[in-house]
Amino acid sequence: RCRSLPGKDGYDLVVVANRLPVDFSVSPTGDLTWQRSPGGLVTALEPVMREADGAWVGWSGAPDLAHEPFDADGVRLVPVTLSADEIERYYEGFSNDTLWPLYHDVIAPPTYHRQWWDAYRRVNQRFADAAAEQAAQDATVWVHDYQLQLVPRMLRDLRPDLRIGFFDHIPFPPVELFGQLPWRRQIVDGLLGADVIGFQRNGDAANFVRAVRRLTDYATRGPVITMPDAEGRPGRHVRAQAFPISIDSRRFDELARTPEVQNRAKEIRADLGNPETVYLGVDRLDYTKGIRHRIKSYGELLEDGRLDVTRATLVQVASPSRENVGAYQDLREHVEILVGRINGEFGELGHSAIHYLHHSYPPEEMAALYLAADVMLVTALRDGMNLVAKEYVAARSDERGVLVLSEFTGAADELSPGPLLVNPHDIDGMKDIIVAAAAMDPKEQRRRMRRLRRKIMTDDVAKWSESFLSVLYAVQPPVSAEPRN
């Protein structure tokens, strides 16, 4: 690998993300083993990483797990170790109980703890140190997501020769909410260490630029922020711009065309009793996803007699997520009580109102579920993008099926018209759309699905990473940077 190449002292492209693209496990003999985790980001970045001589810095996902850097399918993986205490304060605390709710419209109240902030800073520094160690002279580093917003600035201080990009996978809130954060200025300055800051929607990029204007005295012009140099004169430029993320559309499309998946889809419908309408929800069990609003609407439709359990059913996949965070525990309790009540009240022998599945499934099973579903319900209260909506479309080469999509997702900005848009706070409106979706005639379904597929099959995740990296590579390398010794 590149360390053995003459004259090279590191990797040319370094990705920094909270998680590594592998899952570690301990084998029965006590050895540490790893398997690839099939996330979208890995699929997107793998070809670019291989071509560019890449390394990926991230957390292994378990406490106190120390592992030397290793090669996996042509990519160098560099594990960052977190203690149990750091997982509690940096990951569950500051990332997922402070930033996550604050950046998602304070749907749940954010908690502000100084000890969590200290851990966030400390862990961000560890990621920055690891990236600085791996990067070759004048390399490019691409930092990902809200867990690592201080890394760009820390990295620039360590390595002024680097080109640094940052991509925010979740919404960036309006300054009126962001302003609550006691450490708002440090976060803005942390991000401004990057040359290019990518967001999901234009609205997110605009919110960030407004926050810069409100909280700093840096000059801004459209999407460009000019940072002062050491003498206070105009220095380097930072660009804040939308790059909506996507999925590996072709892979999903091909998967859904396989006979195994098609047969499995038929089997699922048969197991459900071959109802006229299968509704589907697929989410991490997260309060941002609007699962309660969806299930409440569904229950009311059964109560009103507008839906009948013998003719329609709802399959709700709710994959386990962040189970040590209180707000997620409360949500699980609420959802499970609600599902139990609705099933108890409206279910019949052989006909469940709601099939609730608190599991994660491999892509083959997900593709089969998408094919089995007449109506896909994506009713998030706030979502950076929502890739489930895109997967549903990519799976439907039969041009059947209806996508009901919340206005509050990044996907709605990109995909309209095509989905049936819904405001999940408007329960009566959502009920009408749930009924209308099942009644849509196949010609109209096809017209909408074609439009959606044209978009999703071309704007895939490879195009997303190429467009981000091409803007980042166009940044002039800093002329004053001293070569590393």
Name every residue whose Cβ is closer than 8 Å to that of residue 423 and which is 6 or more positions away in sequence: 406, 407, 408, 429, 430
Size of residue set near ligand F6P by CB under 6 A: 8
In this structure, what are the phi and psi dihedrals at residue 219, rounded to the nearest 5 degrees?
-80, 140
Contact call for residues 367 and 256 (beta carbons, < 8 A): yes
- The contacts of residue 412 (CB under 8 Å, 6+ apart) are 405, 406, 419, 421
Give the nearest distance from C-beta 43 to ligand F6P in angstroms.
13
Residue from 186, 321, 423, 467 touching ligand F6P (CB under 6 A): that is 321
What SS3 state is found at 339? helix
Which one among 169, 201, 264, 382 touches ligand F6P, defined by CB under 6 A? 169
Nearest approach in angstroms of CB 131 to ligand F6P is 18
**Distance of closest approach, residue 145 Cβ to ligand F6P, in angstroms:** 5
Binding mask 13-32 for ligand F6P (x = CB under 6 A): -----xx-------------
The Cα 285–Cα 320 span in angstroms is 6
**Would you say 126 or 169 has its CB closer to ligand F6P?**
169
Nearer to ligand F6P, 170 or 280 (CB): 170
Q: Which is nearer to ligand F6P, 18 or 249 (CB)?
A: 18
One of 89, 294, 322, 396 touching ligand F6P (CB under 6 A): 322
CA distances from 463 to 244, 290, 459, 460 (A): 10, 29, 6, 5
When CB distances to ligand F6P are compared, the closest residue is 169
Note whether 170 binds ligand F6P by CB under 6 A.
yes
CA distance 240 to 349: 56
Active site residues: 169, 383
Q: Which is nearer to ligand F6P, 202 or 321 (CB)?
A: 321
Q: What is the DSSP letter of 380?
A: -
Determine if 111 is a binding residue for ligand F6P (CB under 6 A).
no
Asked whether position 145 contacts ligand F6P by CB under 6 A, the answer is: yes
Nearest approach, Cβ of residue 39 and ligand F6P (Å) = 6
164, β-bridge pairs: 141
DSSP secondary structure code for residue 409 in this structure: B
Interface map 374-403 toward ligand F6P (x if CB under 6 A): ----------x-------------------
Closer Cβ to ligand F6P, 201 or 322, answer by number: 322
Q: How far is the CB of 353 from ligand F6P (least distance, A)?
A: 29
Orientation angle between helical segments 151-158 and 114-134, nearest 10 degrees: 50
Residues in the chain: 485
CA distances from 62 to 84, 90, 91, 149, 204 (A): 8, 13, 11, 21, 32
Nearer to ligand F6P, 321 or 416 (CB): 321
Interaction site with ligand F6P (CB under 6 A): 18-19, 145, 169-170, 321-322, 384
